A and B are shown apart, each in its own frame.
Chain A
Amino acid sequence: MTSLLEVSGVSVSFDGFRAINNLSFRIGPAELRAVIGPNGAGKTTFMDIVTGKTRADSGTVRWGEKGLSLTGLSEARIAREGVGRKFQKPTVFEDQSVETNLLMALKNRRGPFAALIWRPKPAEMERMRELAGTIGLSAHLARKAGELSHGQKQWLEIGMLLAQEPKLLLVDEPAAGMTPAEREKTTEILVEAAKTRAVVVVEHDMEFVRRLNCRVTVLHEGSVLAEGSLDHVTSNKDVIDVYLGR
């Protein structure tokens, strides 16, 4: 199987502390993957490397069929290549309306000049409304994003991610601060999205991961400790020792 993203032998140190240690990871074009690991395992840093926020000290990050190297490209360029990212703490444009947040994320040309002359096309408005429906914010389009509840902001960010139409979604703890009902809905959205693209979900909540019903990668001290089905990894002795602590 060809892979969409292939991370090999990547290491990163912060002031001598190895946050990522010879990490290798790959994911196919339409696959859902959960990444779990204790606090400080390097999950967020892994996403930082793929999205260009943090530069790898060594190793390669290859993207797509042509094997484009992502190390060294700017964050914006990587995003335009089709990598979308949701942050651990919900980050939306709080001073702007839900509608504007979604329209800004919609896939189209990103240059300043294109933005100057941009006018919403009916198809784009339609798509924006459809997304707002998916994330349950249809009734809140005119509200400022800053007024939304924590869970609604999480959803808005997921909606913006979908609007970008990325080939790969990196989702950092999407269910944090959500009610059980909201979590269920989030699961549905992610599972649905993974039918047509690659989705990597970082999550602490085991129940949530179980419901995703997908392959699981366990990170520990910056490298992969185990990989496989949830049952497989949770019965792995190393995983039990370092992560579940039982």
Chain B
Amino acid sequence: MTGSFLSRNPSVPVMLGAILALVFAVTVFSEAMGGGLSTSFVKTLGMTLCLALAALAMDLVWGYAGILSLGNIAFFGLGGYMIGMWLMAARTRDVVTANLAAQPIPPTPSEIDAAVAGQIFGVVGSDSFPLVWAFSGSLAAQLALVVLVPAALAAVFGWLAFRARVTGVYLSILTQAMTLALALWLFQNDSGLRGNNGLSGLQNIPGAEGVPQAEVALWFLWGSAAALALGYLLSAWLVSGKFGAVLRGIRDNESRVRFLGYPVEGYKLAIFTLSAAITGVAGALYYPQAGIVNPAEMMPIASIYLAVWVAIGGRGRLYGAVIGAVAVSLVSSFFTSGRLPDLDLGPVRLVWVDWWLVMLGAGFVAVTLLAPKGLGGLVDLWSRRRGADRHGADLGPDAGALREQEAEA
């Protein structure tokens, strides 16, 4: 809590250096620069950086404040939807305008509007813009909503839940219910967000029609890397000062923090809302690279993924979240890419795409039981730090408290 920023956060220069090195190497060897890295691989890397940012935000609430939020994936999806609305509206308008311009009589603005709406909402049997698209014409407004919508949802939900002192498993279930409710609502055609079709064609950036996707992929890689770097700096600043000390206090022993006079609800609300905003940004950078966002992205399995990344990377250390997300999602995309030949083992056929989830589950269980510090714990091995022997006692009485084996030395 005292000392310079760097002495409190020795991982910051390493992390920023690693991000920079990655971006530099990928850029140099990318297809756009005449290298051998395929555009789809560059996109995978860019998306992976976004997932790392989302995991970082997850670590802030779970690793530091002890709130196992299963709602963060909803914030991620909402970020994608918010930017997707602008991308889709603007892009469709460009296409429609170009098409109509060929007609002998120039179209009126309302004709263009109707044609754009018909294009976008035809699949759900509608031909006008729903209310939620009110700001879709403005990039600035939708960018603001990328942060504001997840933050507002988190603020309202958090205020209700934290004030009622819902904690532990119940809080997790509640956040999962929120995510599921949102997904189910989005699945409906009259939600105004194209039901299960979701928003698509997001990889086409309006105003950049002439730019090849190879180059667009690089832009997003840079953007995602910058967001992750800034997110890391912000998170490091948040958790290494007194604010972070209070958060960790809340995680391990909430009532002690109260008896010191700290308004616990305010701290939880602050970090939950901030985490939602960061996650929204991560989603807004992810989905244009994925090309499509739909409600299936927010199903319960996805919430679990976020938690698994953080757990595998090591909870309560920022670099752990990043390492976990990057490692798991890269390995995941390797196994699910279909590039690995299936194994014929006589009676069973090992289809990697299907078996990968089983392996991931087994890996999660193994980490939880055998190496609770996760991949981040390897850093402790290397720096030869050893935790104190606590004879199996947790670091505090609360459900979210770090276990003995999780604690950083």
Residues of chain A at the chain B interface (Cβ within 8 Å): 51, 53, 74-77, 79-80, 84-85, 87, 91-97, 99-100, 103-105, 110-112, 115-116, 118-120, 125, 144, 146-147, 160, 164
B246 at the interface (CB under 8 A from A): yes
Interface residues in B265-299 by Cβ distance below 8 A to A read 266-267, 270
Pick 14 A–B contacts, CB within 8 A, sort by A: A51-B259, A75-B255, A75-B259, A76-B259, A80-B261, A84-B259, A93-B396, A94-B395, A103-B245, A110-B260, A115-B267, A116-B238, A120-B2, A160-B260
Give the Cβ gap from B4 to chain A, nearest Cβ, in Å.
Answer: 11
Return chain B residues, CB-CB under 8 Å to A99. 1-2
Cα A100 to Cα B260 with chains together (Å): 13
Return chain A residues, CB-CB under 8 Å to B253. 91, 93
Cα A147 to Cα B260 with chains together (Å): 22
Q: Please provide the 9 A-B residue pairs with the shortest distance between their CB atoms, ordered closest to farther.
A: A79-B261, A75-B258, A147-B388, A80-B261, A115-B243, A112-B270, A118-B242, A95-B395, A115-B242
**Nearest-neighbor residue (CB-CB) of A147 within chain B:** B388
Beyond A103-B242, A104-B242, whether A93 also contacts B266 by CB under 8 A is no
Contact partner of A76 among B238, B248, B261, CB < 8 A?
A: B261
Cα A93 to Cα B390 with chains together (Å): 14
Return chain B residues, CB-CB under 8 Å to A79. 258-261
Return chain A residues, CB-CB under 8 Å to B261. 76-77, 79-80, 110, 164
Give the Cβ gap from B22 to chain A, nearest Cβ, in Å.
Answer: 30
1/0 per residue, CB under 8 A from A, across B216-251: the answer is 000000000000000000000010011101101100
Contact A100 B1 (CB under 8 A): yes
Return chain A residues, CB-CB under 8 Å to B249. 93, 96, 104
CB < 8 Å A-B pair total: 102
Cα A84 to Cα B248 with chains together (Å): 21
Return chain A residues, CB-CB under 8 Å to B270. 112
**Nearest-neighbor residue (CB-CB) of B396 within chain A:** A94
Interface residues in B72-100 by Cβ distance below 8 A to A read none
**Nearest-neighbor residue (CB-CB) of B253 within chain A:** A91
Known interface pairs A103-B245, A115-B243, A146-B388; 17 further A-B residue pairs with C-beta atoms within 8 A, sorted by A's residue number: A75-B255, A76-B262, A77-B261, A79-B260, A91-B397, A93-B256, A100-B1, A110-B260, A112-B246, A112-B266, A112-B267, A115-B262, A116-B241, A118-B243, A147-B388, A160-B260, A164-B261
Return chain B residues, CB-CB under 8 Å to A53. 255
Contact partner of A105 among B260, B266, B388, CB < 8 A?
A: B260
Cα A74 to Cα B165 with chains together (Å): 12
Contact A74 B245 (CB under 8 A): no
Return chain B residues, CB-CB under 8 Å to A147. 388
Contact B1 A95 (CB under 8 A): no
Cα A53 to Cα B165 with chains together (Å): 13
Contact partner of B260 among A104, A118, A120, CB < 8 A?
A: A104
Return chain B residues, CB-CB under 8 Å to A119. 241
B61 at the interface (CB under 8 A from A): no
Interface centre among A79, A91, A125, A146 (most CB of B within 10 A): A146
Contact B258 A74 (CB under 8 A): yes
Beyond A94-B396, A103-B2, A125-B2, whether A116 also contacts B260 by CB under 8 A is no
Contact partner of B246 among A95, A115, A146, CB < 8 A?
A: A115
Return chain B residues, CB-CB under 8 Å to A120. 1-2
Cα A76 to Cα B262 with chains together (Å): 6
Cα A93 to Cα B247 with chains together (Å): 11
Give the Cβ gap from A110 to chain B, nearest Cβ, in Å.
Answer: 5
Contact B1 A103 (CB under 8 A): yes
Interface residues in B1-23 by Cβ distance below 8 A to A read 1-2
B263 at the interface (CB under 8 A from A): yes
Cα A100 to Cα B3 with chains together (Å): 12
Give the Cβ gap from A169 to chain B, nearest Cβ, in Å.
Answer: 12
Interface centre among A76, A80, A105 (most CB of B within 10 A): A76
